[in-house]
Chains A and B, each alone.
Chain A
Amino acid sequence: MTLLRLEQVTRTVRIPDAEPLHILRGIDLEVEVGDHVSIVGRSGSGKSTLLNLLGLLDEPTSGRLVFDEIPLERMRSGQRDRRRGRDVGFIFQQFNLLGGRTALENVMTPLLYAGPAQFWRRRRLAAEMLDRVGLGSRLDSLPTQLSGGEQQRVAIARALVRGPRLILADEPTGALDVETGERVMALLDQVAEDSGAALITITHDPNVAALARRHYRLDQGILTPSGAEVRLEPALAAPTSAAAPALAPPVAPLAGPSTSGEVL
């Protein structure tokens, strides 16, 4: 089932006293439910602009973007925001945890914008999700008390707590060392697979991109499939779903106990 479809999408920015800047040109992309797609591109290739479009944060200049069979132009601003909150989970390079708030409070934050069923149970849902990513014992830790890997795991829990159908990961390992990055990606891949969400990873790191099932390259605003060109590092070359349990902390079912105190 198609979750997201881009048809000949362009994004152009008008700059005063200069030629219009064509950031994205004729993008075609189709993402299925449960899919795992990687998009690789150098800085300035248009990755962030594409992320804005995929996350319903921006509108294309031309072309069509269809989310869950509903064209973007038929969604009003508020509807788009609510759909983004319900169906899209963001993971950022710099984690973007809210300062001064504990891991539990960070994960509870998206539930403030959810419906009554999730809002009134937000504490339990957030605790369960943190437990799933192996941070059941760090609920009350502030971001400053967590390692980089732990912070990204909190960010993953936060992105997944509302049960999104699409996870957008923007350079998820960019701020982590290689080993921690591998573990975090394995965890993200497995949690996404468990929840049935589609995962789009935007990165410039071929190793991270290699974990996806489908691969794309974004170059000067043009998106092309690039599966065969991705160079794999040995540690990440194994099939992702098989490698994940060995790299990630054991993932417990919802409400299950945490079994890992390992620092990522």
Chain B
Amino acid sequence: MRLLTSIAAALVEAWGELRVSRLRVMLSLIGVAVAVAALTAVTALGAIAEQSLREQQERFGGRPALLSLQPTNSAGEAADSALTTAAFDAAAERYGITHTSRTIMDQTLVQLPTGETPVQFQAFDADYVTMHRLAIREGRWFTDGDAERFAPAVVINRDLWQMLGEPDLSTHPHFPLSGVQPTTAVVIGVTGDDCQGGCPTMNLLYDDYQRVGFTPMDYGPDSYVPQPTYEAWVPPSQAKELMKRLDSSISASLGDGWQTNISRNDYAAYLDGDPLLPVKLGVGGVAGLVLLLGALGLVNISLVTVKYRVREIGIRRSFGATAGRVFFGVMMESVVATVVAGLIGVALAVAVMKSPLVSMMMSTPVQDLPPFPISAAIVGLVSATAVGALAGLVPALVAVRVKPIDAIRL
């Protein structure tokens, strides 16, 4: 009961002091709240920037670990597509690989309202979208059900969309595709990629690509004939082992003379350690500096008021406040104030981070927006509390050391 009373009394005392010294507390609160808000917001922004950078890298080379396979033989011939696909699918099933895709890039002539136009295209399976974090501006990407459509679904880029007259996707815009089996492509989505109207591109499902049988472009007698690539998204920790196993499994299925070139092209394959460590260190440094400035402000305010505090504490000592109690009381005042300031700071940072302004600031929209960094908020609060304790330490130490009667007469 006595201990409970002491704690309650210390809290009452701290609250009374906070209430009375509103201006000082407000100044302290503002400094610490801004520092904690900055610390938390900068850390959160860093996390978003880090995610944005990662997503850009993943769009380029795929998500770690992405294995690219291409069967070859000594004569440089292309492997039989159906046989390779069957071998690849069987191997993927055997090793529990959930995301796989075939992909090929080429060019074909497409009859557009503006005339016959060479259009670069890429064909892949539906998983490719996830494996490469493909972004879309309008409409949607492929689903497995799109393979059943009579008219192939295509996702085009902004240049091609403009050439089609910027149609509304709800009107199911379409254009003819020529090939062994001519058909009509239906636009289901538009990507943000463009090069100022000069490079129309489209994406379609690999099965549709095979069904249409695009007429090859005449690139000349020695031109390179595009070959399909098989991709598998596997856990990074198992990548090396799976590369060996897929090689032996697929090569064996294709027969003598065939081997499988397997490589990793994702960003993580080229980097040792944390590739974003410099970014993290930079962000952490800035955040630490911000908090240090806030702490200096608080210590400054505490020092300015030390004379007033010493006199008041001397009076309290004459009422029977022990040195420990005075120390604890002064600490509590400072800590209570900074914890409140820290909470306000975190709330401020959350409000800023959740505002649409942050998304607008990013050059490339982030697909998987990282959750608000709780660790940053905790670090901010703990730092604020520590700063409060340190700032309270100076007057508390002075007050405890000065003789009460002398303190009262200051």
Contacts and interface: CB of A to CB of B under 8 A. Distances in A.
Interface of A: 48, 51-52, 55, 57-58, 77-78, 81-86, 88, 90, 92, 96, 98-101, 105, 109-110, 112-116, 119-120, 158, 162
A84 B318 contact: yes
Contacts of A88: 320
21 contacts: A58-B403, A77-B322, A77-B323, A78-B322, A78-B323, A81-B320, A81-B321, A81-B323, A82-B320, A84-B318, A84-B320, A85-B320, A88-B320, A90-B319, A100-B20, A100-B21, A101-B16, A112-B321, A113-B321, A116-B2, A116-B5
Contacts of A116: 1-2, 4-5
A18 to B, nearest CB: 19
A120 B8 CA distance: 10
B2 A90 contact: no
Contact of A112 (B1, B13, B311, B408): B13
Interface of B is mostly: helix
Given A57-B318, A57-B405, A58-B403, A112 B12 contact: yes
Contacts of B16: 101, 105
B146 interface: no
B102 interface: no
B1 A109 contact: no
Given A57-B318, A110-B319, 4 more contacts: A55-B405, A57-B404, A109-B319, A162-B320
B321 A85 contact: yes
Interface in B293-327: 311-312, 315-325
Nearest to B8: A119
Contact of B320 (A86, A100, A120, A158): A86
Closest A-B pairs by Cβ, 6 of them: A85-B320, A100-B20, A110-B319, A81-B322, A116-B5, A112-B9
B10 to A, nearest CB: 8
Contacts of B320: 81-86, 88, 110, 113-114, 162
A228 to B, nearest CB: 31
Main secondary structure of the interface of A (DSSP, over half): helix
Contact of A115 (B5, B317, B325): B5
A140 to B, nearest CB: 14
A110 B318 CA distance: 9
B367 to A, nearest CB: 55
A82, A114, A116 pick with most chain B CB within 10 angstroms: A116
Contacts of A90: 318-319
A12 to B, nearest CB: 15
A119 B315 contact: no
A8 B4 CA distance: 42
A147 B9 CA distance: 30
B306 to A, nearest CB: 16
A114 B321 CA distance: 9
A88 B20 CA distance: 27
Contacts of B312: 98
Nearest to A52: B405
Interface in B1-27: 1-2, 4-5, 8-9, 12-13, 16, 20-21
A85 B324 contact: no
Interface of B: 1-2, 4-5, 8-9, 12-13, 16, 20-21, 311-312, 315-325, 403-405, 408-409
Contacts of B13: 112
B325 A113 contact: yes
Contacts of B8: 119
A184 to B, nearest CB: 19
Contacts of A101: 16, 20
Contact of B315 (A48, A85, A96, A162): A96
A113 B319 contact: yes
Nearest to B311: A96
A58 B407 CA distance: 13
Given A57-B318, A81-B322, A82-B320, A113 B9 contact: yes
Contacts of A105: 16
B391 to A, nearest CB: 20
B18 to A, nearest CB: 11
A85 B409 CA distance: 19
A5 to B, nearest CB: 21
Contacts of B4: 116
A48 B405 contact: yes
Nearest to A83: B320
A145 to B, nearest CB: 15
A49 to B, nearest CB: 9
Nearest to B323: A77
Contacts of B2: 115-116
B318 A82 contact: no
A120 B322 contact: no
Contacts of B409: 48
Among A82, A119, A162: residue with most chain B CB under 10 A: A119
Contacts of A99: 20
Contacts of A162: 320
A195 B68 CA distance: 95
A50 to B, nearest CB: 11
Contact of A98 (B5, B315, B404): B315
Nearest to A48: B405
Nearest to B321: A113
A57 B316 contact: no
Contacts of A82: 320, 322
A40 B316 CA distance: 26
A250 B403 CA distance: 37
A122 to B, nearest CB: 9
Nearest to A51: B405
Contacts of B315: 96, 98
Nearest to A96: B315
A197 B20 CA distance: 33
A85 B319 contact: yes
Contacts of B408: 92, 96
A92 B1 CA distance: 33
A110 B315 CA distance: 10
Nearest to A58: B403
A84 B322 CA distance: 10
